[in-house]
Amino acid sequence: MKRLNQFTLDLTVAILDFLYRGRDYPRFWVLEEIARAPYFAFLSVLHFRESMGLRGPEHLYLMKQHFEQSVNETEHLEYMESRGGNSYWIDRFVAKHLVLIYYWVNVVYYWVAPRYAYHLSYEVEVHAASTYAKFLAYNGHDDKILEILNDELHHSKELHDAMEMI
């Protein structure tokens, strides 16, 4: 399952890198738009499990964490918008359709295999951090991108911990 996660991520990244080569901020905007979806999906499933009387000991901790992560990803998204990442209709069209599919994939995945769903998002966060690190290496220092890079590393650690917990 982890290999399937890695394969899916590598394929998606290869397609996005091809489509968005030379257009860093639109690519970051699309990635941030997609990166938020799993956190909404995790929250949706946790709410549903709670309503079904399936609240485990780690439940509240995970809900708080995923809510904070989703807010933090929205802050990243707003920053990319301030840099013109969503200026074109086609980028918004691509991102909004991908996010619709990715949200539902994550709802089902998290419901049936939460550890593997966390693993997929963990890999996405690691990829996001390395994407921003490459950007800094090519374009020089940027305080905001460095802050976002550190947020992504923080998310990856939280997801890793969640994987061990659930």
- For the bound state, the minimum distance from the C-beta of residue 154 to Fe ion, rounded and expressed in Å, comes to 8
Looking at residue 142, what DSSP letter applies?
-
DSSP one-letter string for 16-84 = HHHHTTT-HHHHHHHHHHHHHHHHHHHHHHHHHHHHTT---TTHHHHHHHHHHHHHHHHHHHHHHHHTT
Q: Which is nearer to Fe ion, 24 or 73 (CB)?
A: 73
Interacting residue with Fe ion among 24, 91, 123, 152 (CB under 5 A): 152
* Pairs from 159-166 (Cβ < 8 Å, separation ≥ 24): 159/118, 159/119, 159/121, 159/122, 159/125, 160/118, 160/122, 162/62, 162/65, 162/118, 163/115, 163/118, 163/119, 163/122, 165/58, 165/61, 165/62, 166/58, 166/62, 166/114, 166/115, 166/118
- For the bound state, the minimum distance from the C-beta of residue 57 to Fe ion, rounded and expressed in Å, comes to 25
- Joined tokens for residue 17: 């890198």
Interacting residue with Fe ion among 27, 155, 158, 162 (CB under 5 A): 155
Interacting residue with Fe ion among 24, 73, 91, 123 (CB under 5 A): 73
- For the bound state, the minimum distance from the C-beta of residue 18 to Fe ion, rounded and expressed in Å, comes to 21
Q: Of the ranges 20-28, 58-66, 99-107, 146-154, which one interacts with Fe ion (CB under 5 A)?
A: 146-154
* 26 in Cβ contact with 86 (< 8 Å): yes
Q: Which is nearer to Fe ion, 48 or 150 (CB)?
A: 150
Q: Of the ranges 17-25, 39-47, 49-57, 66-74, which one interacts with Fe ion (CB under 5 A)?
A: 66-74
Question: Applying CB under 5 A, does 158 fall inside the site for Fe ion?
Answer: no
Contacts to Fe ion from residues 98-127, by CB under 5 A: 125
Interacting residue with Fe ion among 25, 37, 70, 76 (CB under 5 A): 76
Q: Which is nearer to Fe ion, 27 or 48 (CB)?
A: 27
Instruction: Note the residues at the interface with Fe ion (CB under 5 A).
Output: 32, 73, 76, 125, 152, 155
